Each structure stands twice: as structure tokens, then as C-alpha cells.
């Protein structure tokens, strides 16, 4: 015969159930000692009847305790159906979270606007014609272009022929040059060695205190100290964007257009760019879109989508630009 095994619950332990043999269980609960008392022969005495009754009473108590122990152990074991139900609930929780995550853009206005767009590549002219009909907001929305590009390291400087914002913000310049000229209507910080230290310590911050950095070739060696600060912001002077100049007056004297630094998203090979406001009309938006595509290079672009703020996207056929 095999060894009979029972389950024992130790209420003083964190472990709810202990699987063990009957012999070990009896040792844990003290049943073995009671059995030893039972096997001892009672001594003959005038009160032998009362002595003989004690082991039987202990055995009855022991049987009751064992039964109660077994019942409580069984009660602790969840039913198979309950385990299955809890497992199904645990598996269903991720799907509920995923469903909640995709509730974005489920409004009636968005759905109505989305029905106006067919599953095809629109020409630029067609897309700009239908774009105002897909706007879901009451204010003048921005027009955005999203491009899937070949790799994550695409960078470009775009000179938009038309302003990309109805409220044009005056740019602030940081200029490193020996000649500190008086230039009207420009916000200029004239830089030197002390300015470089202020940028290193965070007293001056790119984007907060200045948006464009100009430098003469003489200061480029000194600017190498803060290249790790200016570089990620796209503000390190270089010949390609024309920010290394001997004569700042000549730079400011040139016809200024809306210049933007374009780069891929840090997490994917995607470029997000704003080309203007919807109120600017088809002609200006098309000119800005063309400038953006040419600056990046059509060969690097795989897919192109145009949309308004909080509106559905329209896929473009760039061969029609």
C-alpha cells in the first residue's frame, strides 16, 4: 500500500498548506503522542474504570480535531472553476487596457471627417482642397505633415517661403564676433569666452535665451566646448546653414524667410513638421510643402501624410507636387 498523504495548515506560518505524510502530520499536530498514551495499559486500581475512560475521550477529541483540520484544509483549496475564472479575468485585463488605449479620436466629428477621406493616395492639390472639410476644431488649426523616412538620422534646414505661424515670433540671436555692431530691431546677445562658461553652467540655455547661434571662424574652436549642448538642439554653427559668418550685418541684411530645423523623431524614422495654418490657403501651404520635401530629399521619403490639428490624416502622392 502507498503512503497516505494529508495537508496540514500551520496558522503561525506564511505558507498556507503543507503537503506531508500522515506520519509526519501526526508528529506536527501531536497526534502521535496521544496515540502513545492510548496504547499504554491502564494500571489496576480501585479507580481503574475512570482511568480507562481517559484514552477513549482523548481519542474522540483527536478524531474531532483531525476532521476539523481536514475540513478547514479542503475549504482553503479553491474550486477548479474559481481558479479558471480568476485566470480568465487576469488574461482579460491586458485586452481591456489595450482597448482603452485605442479610444483616442473616437469622437463623432472625427469619424464624420474620416468618412470624407478615401483609402488612396491623394494628389497635393486634391488633399489641400479637402483639408478644410476634415477640420474638427473651431479655431484656426495648424497644418502638419508627417513623413516616414528611410532612416533615423535625417536632418534638414528648411527655408519656408511663407510664415508657418500667423503670429511670427522675433528670434533671439547669440553672436560670437569681434565686432559688436549696433543692429536695429534684432534681439542679439554678443558672445565671448564668458558666455561659453554661462552656457556650460546652464545660466544661458538654448531655446530659452536664444534660438540661433552665429559665429565667426575664429570662435569655432572655443565653441567646441559646448558642442554637446548646442548640437542636439541644432544650434551649432556650420557652413551648411550659413551660420558661420565673418560679417553678421551681411547675414541680417539678407532677405529673411521662415527658417526651421527639421530632424527625425528620437524614437522612430518619422519627421513631424508644421507647414502653416489652414487659413493661409492652398497656394501658401503648397509652396511650404514643396520647400519641405525638397529640403529633405524625395528619395529619402517613403510615405507622406497631411492633416490639421486633431483631424484625420490624408495620404499624399508626392509625384504630384
- How high is the pLDDT of residue 303? 93
The Cα 265–Cα 234 span in angstroms is 14
Residue 287: CB atoms within 10 A of its CB come to 16
What phi and psi values does residue 243 have, to the nearest 5 degrees?
-95, 0
Residue 102: CB atoms within 10 A of its CB come to 8
- How high is the pLDDT of residue 302? 93
- How high is the pLDDT of residue 164? 83
Q: Which residue has the cell 492510548?
A: 38
- How high is the pLDDT of residue 250? 77
Residue 43: CB atoms within 10 A of its CB come to 8
Helix (H) / strand (E) containing 277: strand 270-277
Q: How many residues are given for the chain?
A: 321
- How high is the pLDDT of residue 247? 83
Please name each of the domains of the chain with its CATH number: 5-77 (no CATH), 78-108 (no CATH), 116-161+257-321 (3.30.190.20), 167-256 (3.40.50.790)
Torsion of CA 83, 85, 91, 95, to 10 degrees: -170
- How high is the pLDDT of residue 196? 93
Output the tens digit of pLDDT for each of the chain's 321 residues.
Answer: 555 555 555 555 555 555 555 666 566 556 555 555 555 555 544 444 444 444 445 455 545 555 555 555 444 445 555 555 555 555 555 555 555 555 455 688 889 889 999 999 999 999 999 999 999 888 999 999 999 998 888 888 888 888 887 555 677 889 998 877 777 667 889 999 999 999 999 999 998 899 889 999 999 999 999 999 998 888 999 887 778 888 887 777 654 556 778 889 888 899 999 999 999 999 999 999 999 999 999 999 999 999 998 899 999 998 887
- How high is the pLDDT of residue 113? 87
The Cα 90–Cα 86 span in angstroms is 6
Amino acid at each position: 500500500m502507498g503512503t497516505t498523504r494529508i495537508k496540514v495548515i500551520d496558522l503561525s506560518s506564511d505558507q498556507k498548506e503543507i503537503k506531508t505524510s500522515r506520519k509526519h502530520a501526526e508528529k506536527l499536530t501531536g497526534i502521535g503522542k496521544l496515540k502513545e498514551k492510548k496504547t499504554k495499559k491502564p494500571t489496576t486500581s480501585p479507580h481503574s474504570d475512570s482511568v480507562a475512560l481517559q484514552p477513549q475521550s482523548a481519542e474522540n477529541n483527536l478524531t474531532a480535531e483531525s476532521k476539523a483540520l481536514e475540513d478547514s484544509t479542503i475549504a482553503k483549496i479553491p474550486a477548479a472553476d474559481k481558479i479558471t475564472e480568476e485566470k480568465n479575468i487576469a488574461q482579460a485585463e491586458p485586452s481591456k487596457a489595450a482597448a482603452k488605449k485605442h479610444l483616442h479620436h473616437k469622437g463623432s466629428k472625427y469619424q464624420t471627417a474620416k468618412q470624407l477621406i478615401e483609402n488612396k493616395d491623394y494628389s497635393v492639390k486634391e488633399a489641400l482642397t479637402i483639408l478644410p472639410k476634415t477640420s474638427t476644431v473651431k479655431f484656426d488649426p495648424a497644418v502638419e505633415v508627417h513623413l516616414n523616412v528611410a532612416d533615423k538620422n535625417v536632418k534638414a534646414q528648411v527655408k519656408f517661403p511663407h510664415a508657418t505661424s500667423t503670429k511670427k515670433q522675433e528670434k533671439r540671436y547669440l553672436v560670437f564676433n569681434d565686432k559688436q555692431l549696433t543692429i536695429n530691431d534684432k534681439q542679439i546677445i554678443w558672445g565671448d569666452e564668458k558666455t561659453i562658461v554661462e552656457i556650460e553652467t546652464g545660466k544661458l540655455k538654448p531655446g530659452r535665451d536664444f534660438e540661433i547661434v552665429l559665429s565667426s571662424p575664429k570662435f569655432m574652436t572655443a565653441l567646441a566646448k559646448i558642442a554637446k549642448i548646442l548640437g542636439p538642439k541644432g544650434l551649432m554653427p556650420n557652413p551648411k546653414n550659413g551660420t558661420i559668418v565673418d560679417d553678421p550685418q551681411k547675414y541680417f541684411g539678407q532677405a529673411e524667410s521662415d527658417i526651421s530645423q527639421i530632424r527625425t523623431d528620437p524614437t522612430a524614422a518619422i519627421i513631424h513638421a508644421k507647414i502653416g495654418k489652414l487659413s493661409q490657403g492652398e497656394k501658401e501651404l503648397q509652396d511650404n510643402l514643396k520647400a519641405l520635401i525638397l529640403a529633405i530629399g524625395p528619395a529619402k521619403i517613403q510615405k507622406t501624410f497631411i492633416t490639421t490639428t486633431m483631424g484625420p490624416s490624408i495620404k499624399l502622392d508626392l509625384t504630384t507636387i
